[in-house]
């Protein structure tokens, strides 16, 4: 069984999305552990107001992380789209055959006849 071959930019898009997701989750969850301890020492405002302000800050931070992730995702997706192969691989000889051609110029494999058999 032949394994699917993914392009390098496919891996870049997947890794970027994973990185942003992990960063957003870590940023959102780490702030919850620090707010109660930090707000307990606050004397100018109430503990509840301090926690609410920290939650708003966390939400804004996660929103900025997701915005950066979206911009990067669009950027990498455009590169992925622009670098797609301009042909297909011949199953017989492995040469690159331009789109629109029905036969391989090297070995003569007929793509139309192979589709008729399937």
96: phi then psi, degrees, rounded to nearest 5: -85, 125
Contact 80, 13 (CB under 8 A): yes
Q: Does the pLDDT value for residue 1 go beyond 60?
A: no
The arithmetic mean of pLDDT across residues 6-22, rounded, is 93
pLDDT of res. 37: 66
Query: Residues 26-71: pLDDT tens digits?
Result: 988 876 666 666 777 766 778 788 888 888 888 899 999 999 999 9
Six-digit token pair at 56?
A: 């708003």
């Amino acid at each position: 069984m032949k394994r699917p071959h993914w392009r390098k930019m496919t891996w870049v898009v997947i890794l970027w999305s994973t990185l942003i997701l992990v960063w957003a989750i870590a940023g959102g969850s780490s702030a919850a552990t620090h707010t109660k301890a930090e707000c307990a020492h606050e004397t100018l405002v109430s503990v509840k107001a301090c926690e609410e302000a920290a939650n708003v800050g966390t939400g804004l931070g996660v929103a900025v992380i997701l915005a950066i992730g979206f911009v990067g995702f669009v950027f990498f997706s455009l590169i992925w789209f622009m670098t797609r192969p301009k042909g297909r691989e011949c199953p017989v000889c492995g040469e690159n055959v331009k789109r629109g051609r029905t036969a391989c110029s090297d070995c003569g494999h007929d793509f139309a006849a192979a589709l008729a058999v399937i």
